[in-house]
Amino acid sequence: MDLAFFPNKGQVASDDQTTRPRRISEGLFVACPVLFSAFVALYSRNYQDRYQVPSSTPQQESTVLAYAPYIRQTNQLFSKNAYSINRTEMLQVAGNWEKADESGILQPLPKVSFEDSIQQGVRGQIIHSKSMLVSALYEDARDLESNGRPNQAAQEVLLGVNLSQGLKYSDFNSVFLSDVEQRRAASFLERNATKLDGQTKQNAKALFAKILGNSRELEALTRESRIQYYDWTSRITQSPISVDQARLTAMLTDRITSNPNSPRALHYTQSSILDSDEDTSPVYLSELRMAWKAEASNKQAAQALVSQL
């Protein structure tokens, strides 16, 4: 028998030393996916995301729900015939909106957070219904003007201005939209100023003088929007906003609102857009300038109308 067939003790020991590391590495290779999956499952189960999306308060939801009956009336009005609306029904629905605005039942729509948009969802339907009603009043006023009834036409235009004023200071976009509607009304009244009777002129002058003297609501909206912007920045960056950034934003806000039509206000806004990699203020500053510029143009039109009346 050939004794070389049987390995000696040294050869067996050498083979064990060679295969043992290989077996350990193979075991680790098999176990790694299992251990990694267990770690991910355990981490996901115990992870708490610090980013919290703001939610509306019961009071904010009540503000939105208050519009329900008026939206229903408006939808019923336009669902009958969108191309030939009954004037009596239209004036009744618009009058109900106006009374609810004056009594405080209807308030500007709340914006929950900086990234929130009131142009969508239920609040978007409210704004759309109001805009449709205001446009219908203006279109009917134009027909009345063509038929030689300027005083009745002016009364409907003033009713549309009141409806526009109710939702105006919800956010910067609603300020812009309402200012466009009110400038359209001012142009109509200025065109027909010589045809209006004394009472209609007095009503128009009082309403637009009130618009001229109202600056606190846009200032309050600006403060609230800036606070929401600070909160949004802190949530996005997961850290409090720096004092320097807050001071810079406040300074740019003051400079833009002091003269939104100036080239410097446009320069500040464009500069923030160019620096947007490090600064998240372009959206805030752009919307701020848009609203204040529209408000300035609206007050200029209102001043011209009041002077003429």
Whole-number Å distance between alpha carbons of 253 and 309: 35
Its pTM stands at 0.78
Please provide the size of the chain in residues: 309
Domain residues of the chain, as ranges? Answer: 58-214, 220-293
Long-range pairs for 123-131: beta carbons < 8 A, 24 or more residues apart: 123/64, 123/170, 125/71, 126/64, 126/67, 126/71, 126/167, 127/167, 127/170, 127/174, 127/177, 129/70, 129/71, 129/74, 129/75, 130/74, 130/97, 130/163, 130/164, 130/166, 130/167, 131/177, 131/181
> What was the pLDDT predicted at 278?
45
Task: Count the Cβ atoms, other than its own, within 10 Å of residue 48.
Answer: 4
DSSP code of residue 120: S
> What was the pLDDT predicted at 47?
54
Q: Provide the residue-wise pLDDT of the chain in tens; the chain has 309 residues.
A: 455 544 555 554 555 555 666 666 666 666 677 666 766 667 666 655 555 666 778 888 899 999 999 999 999 998 877 677 889 999 999 999 999 999 999 999 988 888 888 888 889 999 999 999 999 999 999 999 999 999 999 999 999 999 999 999 999 999 999 999 999 999 999 999 999 999 999 999 999 999 998 889 999 999 999 999 888 888 887 788 888 888 888 888 888 888 887 766 556 555 554 444 444 567 888 899 899 999 999 999 999 999 998
What is the longest distance spanned by two Cα atoms in the chain?
136
| 150-166 helix and 121-146 helix, angle to the nearest 10 degrees | 170
